[in-house]
A and B are shown apart, each in its own frame.
Chain A
Amino acid sequence: MAAVTRVVLAEDEVLLREGLVALLTRFDFTVCAAVGSAPELLDAARTHQPDLVLTDIRMPPDRRDDGLRVAVALRAERPRLPVVVLSQYVQTGYAAALLDSGDGQRVGYLLKDRVAEVTEFVDTLRRVTAGGTAIDPDVVRQLLHRPRDPLRALSAREREVLALLAEGRSNASIAARLHVTEAAVGKHVGNILLKLDLPPSDDTNRRVLAVLTYLRADPAG
């Protein structure tokens, strides 16, 4: 990362907020503001125009999905604003809402637990800031539980590749993860796109997004 990434952070629990600030600072992010409620987040993000917004979902005033609502609102104002949302639980609906906001890219939906894996977490933040999309593997896993006919057509290996794709990984990174060649991954991706009836493209993110959009479409259809 050449340029310094400026971050606005929102988390209502002070200890965790401090921890996140420490983590971000350590990895050369600049924390412009660290706040503890949804309205403050909205203000801070508008004031500082950060390169990345990192926010918790459940926070004051309503302690429901306030953080997510602000994230969606911010992306309505700035469709290309990178946003990473931390969730205590896997809720596919939240991931969907986030993916539907703005340009559908530069979003991350992660379980809070992931902050424990410090380096992976930071990688994810950087990926999203750089224009990628990161959806927590657990969300993808839950979505893949859906017995949809086109998905049933996928082999186990193809599902694995799809899940990794959904995390916003590149073919090279998937290849390293599955201990196969990059060419093999490319073939899998091609097959997946074919089976899921998606137009092939070089842009992994768009493909992932298309997959996710497809996955979260109502299964009744």
Chain B
Amino acid sequence: MTPERPRHLAEALRRRDWLVSAWPWRALAYLVSTVPIAGVLAIGLLVIGAPLLAALNAFRQHGRPPDLPLMLFLAVGSLTVLALAPIVSFPVAVVERWRLGLVDGRPLPVPRWTGLAARYRSAAGWREVAYLFCLGGIAPIAYWVFLLLVLLDIGLIASPWLAFNSTSEPGDAAQVIVVWGTVDTAGEAVPYAIVGVLLVPVLWYAAGLLAAGQAAVVRWTLARPVDAAALREVARSRTRLVSAYEAERRRIERDLHDGAQPRLTSLTLQLGLARLDVGEDSPAARPLAVAHDQARGLMVMLRQLVHGIRPQSLTDLGLAGAVRELADAAPVAVTVSADLDGELPEIVETTAFFVVSEALGNVVRHAGATRAEVRLSRTDGDLVVEVSDDGRGGADPSRGTGLTGLADRVAAADGRLLLASPPDGPTLVRVELPWPR
């Protein structure tokens, strides 16, 4: 029992106030508006099934195959309709999604027309075709059965009047046939009428169930999960975002390097010059010395800060050169082999650099290695960065050796990180980043 308002028919059906709520009417509106669509589709289905029906008919009635020209004609019609199905299904699906709003308040993804070829290639297109078959084939049968039940119930309820009217003719012993018997007089028909009235809520529920069933089928076939094209779009836009972020980092680094750093250096220099002219015994000497020291400390800090934003070596030397600098600075022996041609995308360059930086850091911190090797190469569509060491191995991303953060960073650049690190080593970190030729 949900206290808040139901969002769709199936929820409403489970509530006690179903019969007196607006929901049954919505269900009814849904059912009634289905009829013309299902009717048209049923005809289409008949056209598709026509050759089979014609053949069956010919065998049953004449015991021989049907005429070839007729069969050809029917087959061409059938195949044409079948071939058009994915195109026809698009507008139908649009209408059906809109109609689903009658019985289901939950939002639906709105698919766009992605071109003719996509209708035949995408799973979503064929799911819509499958729905056409449901609507043209199964729905009419269910609707007929339901309509029959409704008509029977109306007969039951109306039976006293029918009996009364038929007996109003003198000398006429007309009988009114109700479901499982006949009645002669209005009085005899009353129990049937009572049963009929009692059946109304049952039918009310049945209508709800039928509509809910159909809505579930619609949701299942038409409200499909977002397909790969859209996912690619999402990933691309994330990559765009990261690229914008990289460009921003570069701008900040440049501003600091070209603006703030030289000014701070200049300030420190001026303080240094001032100290030359201030005697040791001057009261200004000490605060000046402190200011000078602080400015020097700030220079170091700012340098590290800028380096963290975007390593200058990357700007100046490119990836291979910057990686060699990293190798130079590492306390273990690192050999670098680079086989790169062409201009790297900025985001790939920085990501690769930080991968090497972080991986070498891990080698030093955790691996207890004596040697490491960095290989940069270009495959068909990727930049491949491999960092291997002869350390103790057993690197475990779940133990948080910075590997997961690295993987996140790589993923943001639309790449992937692979790790092989058996106990006792060797460890290999391999990163593939998209670098289209």
Interface flags, B324-351, vs A, CB<8A=1, else 0: 1100111111010000000000000000
Contact between B265 and A16, CB atoms less than 8 A apart: yes
Contact between B257 and A58, CB atoms less than 8 A apart: yes
Which of B27-35, B172-180, B294-302 lies at the interface with chain A? B294-302
Contact between B261 and A88, CB atoms less than 8 A apart: yes
Among residues 240 to 299 in chain B, which have CB atoms less than 8 Å away from a CB atom of chain A? 254, 257-259, 261-263, 265-266, 268-273, 275-276, 292, 295-296, 299
A72 located at the interface, meaning its Cβ lies under 8 Å from any Cβ of chain B in the complex: no
A93 surroundings in chain B (CB, below 8 A):
317, 321, 324-325
A88 touches which of B257, B275, B276, B335 (Cβ 8 Å)? B257
Q: What separation, in Å, do the CA atoms of A64 and B321 have in the docked complex?
A: 13
A61 located at the interface, meaning its Cβ lies under 8 Å from any Cβ of chain B in the complex: no
Contact between B263 and A13, CB atoms less than 8 A apart: yes
Among residues 9 to 63 in chain B, which have CB atoms less than 8 Å away from a CB atom of chain A? none
A49 located at the interface, meaning its Cβ lies under 8 Å from any Cβ of chain B in the complex: no
B259 surroundings in chain A (CB, below 8 A):
13
Among residues 101 to 160 in chain A, which have CB atoms less than 8 Å away from a CB atom of chain B? 112-113, 115-119, 142-143, 145-148
Given contacts A88-B261, A113-B296, A146-B333, contact A22 B316 (CB under 8 A): no
B307 located at the interface, meaning its Cβ lies under 8 Å from any Cβ of chain A in the complex: yes
B312 located at the interface, meaning its Cβ lies under 8 Å from any Cβ of chain A in the complex: yes
B268 touches which of A12, A26, A116 (Cβ 8 Å)? A116
For chain B, give the interface size range.
Answer: 35 or more
Given contacts A19-B270, A145-B331, contact A89 B303 (CB under 8 A): yes
CB distance from B410 to the nearest CB of A (A): 25
B292 touches which of A57, A63, A116, A119 (Cβ 8 Å)? A116
Contact between A116 and B312, CB atoms less than 8 A apart: no
Q: What separation, in Å, do the CA atoms of A119 and B272 have in the docked complex?
A: 9
Contact between A89 and B268, CB atoms less than 8 A apart: no
CB distance from A109 to the nearest CB of B (A): 14
Which chain A residue lies CB-closest to B268? A116
Most buried by A among B266, B292, B325, B331: B266
Contact between B328 and A146, CB atoms less than 8 A apart: yes
Which chain B residue lies CB-closest to A219? B333
Given contacts A65-B316, A118-B276, A219-B333, contact A92 B328 (CB under 8 A): yes
Contact between A116 and B272, CB atoms less than 8 A apart: yes
Contact between A113 and B303, CB atoms less than 8 A apart: yes
Q: Which residues from chain A sit less than 8 Å from chain B, CB to CB?
A: 11-13, 15-16, 18-20, 22-23, 26, 57-58, 63-65, 88-93, 112-113, 115-119, 142-143, 145-148, 219-220
Q: Which residues from chain B sit less than 8 Å from chain A, CB to CB?
A: 254, 257-259, 261-263, 265-266, 268-273, 275-276, 292, 295-296, 299-300, 303, 307, 312-313, 315-317, 321, 324-325, 328-333, 335, 370
| Contacts beyond the supplied A89-B313, A116-B265, A148-B333: 6 A-B pairs with Cβ under 8 Å | A12-B262, A88-B261, A88-B312, A92-B325, A113-B300, A147-B331
